[in-house]
Amino acid sequence: MIFNVGMSIWILAFVLMACLGALGFRQGAIRVAFSFVAIILATLLAVPLSGLFKPLLPWFGVKNPVLIWAIAPFLAFWLVQGLIKYAAFHVHRNREVFYKHKASELELSLWTRINSRLGLCLGLLNGTAYFIIICFVIFNLSYWTTQVGASTNQPFAVRLVNQLGSDLEATGLARAAQGVGKLPADFYRDADMTGFLLQNPQVGPRLQTYPGLTSFFQRPEIQSYLTDQNFTNLISTGGAVGDLWNSGPVQQFFGDVGLRQLVTGEFQTNYDDLLGYLQTGKSAKYDGEKILGNWTVNINVTLAWMRQERPKMTANEMRAARAWYTQAYGKTTLLATGEGEIFIKNYPVPKKEDGKAPTTDLIDVQGHWTKSDAGYDLDLKVNDQDKFYSGPADALRMTLKDGRNQLIFDRE
């Protein structure tokens, strides 16, 4: 019964030991000893030397940055291995020629026996080294796949890595894998965040409302991802890793260096607070700023304030004001972001032309907000002209004044 726990890992260990032991017996102590040194050096130099291969891989058709990041150290590992094993072959060949042609038969027999048997022992040592390195690879691969590819409709390769990772944890060998070294912290944090979002698709809309990222999601290049129905459906339904990887938005994202850097910077800056917000709906970093979020104009309350400030308005003037405010501000929305930016949609701009009745254009404007003694100051850019508002905000309502005019906003 105990052998059912981590069976795949024990099978892998047995196969490696058997193969490397047999190979060591065949190759001899000299070549296998060099191989052990090669394994250690190649492991230490794989990442530093990977920079030699990263500029070359695009010439061979490998342009995806994730694949380049993964393949380059692998090539560097085998480059170091190849160079040391080449030297090992010549040293072994030199000794072999000596004992075959210059030593006695007894010396040749003794050398052959000790060379093979010591090679077997060292081969087992090499098998152990390779096993630990493979465990390290499995641990880090499964750290991603078990989170982003947990469903049963995943490809065989993903399910296999998940099983190996589970067995690695069950045997306790995950600690040995971690002892080899760790990848950059971003590797694990990105996996945690991606896995959380894919396993909890219901929190996806909450991601767009996080105050520290609302300006980011207003960018046109990001909006194109959010409006791709196939992509969003694939995420919400827990699609296969292969389908996600091959989807147009993902391939476009990895092909755009500037966008990747932008996304990485935005998420890393707010990672801890963002994760807490996704889990609880509250942000320790931004909840103190009352202006943040989406707002709509409360026309009835705005007109009531107008009536109080202008008690001499006639009924006809009030009806005209109500008709204009309803038409002008009925669709107006304001978004205040954690980055200090303001986005207003359907902002009314009166338009007058000679010989024609006045009209109102609804345009989208942007600006910035800052704290002030009055609460908040808003600086907007409206048709190349600066427009200023100021006023207080609380959990439910915001009052903004522009000279003598006043607008009352309610939080959405």
Residue type, 77: F
Q: At what angle do helices 7-27 and 105-148 cross, to 10 degrees?
A: 150
First to last CA, the chain: 58
* Statement: residue 5 has pLDDT above 80: no
Give the architecture (CATH level 2) of 293-411: Beta Barrel (2.40)
Q: State how far the Cα of 261 lies from the Cα of 259, in Å rounded to an integer.
A: 5
Residue 1: predicted pLDDT = 37
The residue among 330 and 2 whose pLDDT is bigger is 330
Which tokens hold the place of 228?
């791709």
* Statement: residue 344 has pLDDT above 50: yes
How far lies 125's CA from each of 112, 114, 131, 133, in Å? 20, 16, 10, 13
Give me the phi and psi of 159, to 5 degrees please: -65, -35
* Statement: residue 237 has pLDDT above 50: yes
Residue 226: predicted pLDDT = 64
* Statement: residue 98 has pLDDT above 80: yes
Q: Which of 125, 127, 162 is nearest to 142 (CA)?
A: 162
Q: Which tens digit of pLDDT belongs to each residue from 364-399?
A: 999 999 998 888 999 998 887 888 999 999 888 999
Q: Which tens digit of pLDDT belongs to each residue from 112-151?
A: 899 899 999 999 999 999 999 999 999 998 888 887 766 5
The residue among 345 and 263 whose pLDDT is bigger is 345
The most confident of 2-6, 17-21, 55-59, 306-310, by mean pLDDT: 17-21
The residue among 152 and 6 whose pLDDT is bigger is 6
For the chain, the structural domain boundaries read 2-182, 186-280, 293-411
The residue among 105 and 241 whose pLDDT is bigger is 105
* Statement: residue 320 has pLDDT above 60: yes
* Statement: residue 2 has pLDDT above 50: no
H, E, C per residue of 46-108: HHHHHHHCCCCHHHHCCCCHHHHHHHHHHHHHHHHHHHHHHHHHHHHHHHHHHHHHCCCHHHH
Residue 235: predicted pLDDT = 61
Mean pLDDT of 48-62: 87
394, 409 in Cβ contact below 8 A?
no
The residue among 378 and 360 whose pLDDT is bigger is 378
Q: Which of 300, 294, 295, 287 is nearest to 410 (CA)?
A: 295
Q: Which of 119, 128, 116, 109 is nearest to 39 (CA)?
A: 128
Residue 243: predicted pLDDT = 65
- What residues does 293 pair with on adjacent strands? 336
* Statement: residue 309 has pLDDT above 80: yes
Residue 225: predicted pLDDT = 66
The most confident of 81-85, 347-351, 393-397, by mean pLDDT: 81-85
Residue 228: predicted pLDDT = 64
Residue 273: predicted pLDDT = 85
Identify the band that residue 17 occupies on the pLDDT scale cut at 50, 70 and 90.
very high
Residue 171: predicted pLDDT = 87
Q: Which tens digit of pLDDT belongs to each residue from 250-305?
A: 666 666 667 677 777 777 778 888 888 888 888 888 888 889 888 999 999 999 88
Mean pLDDT of 238-258: 65
Hey, CA dihedral for 145, 151, 152, 154, is it positive or negative?
Answer: negative
The residue among 349 and 216 whose pLDDT is bigger is 349
Q: How many CA atoms lie within 13 A of 172 on its CB side?
A: 0
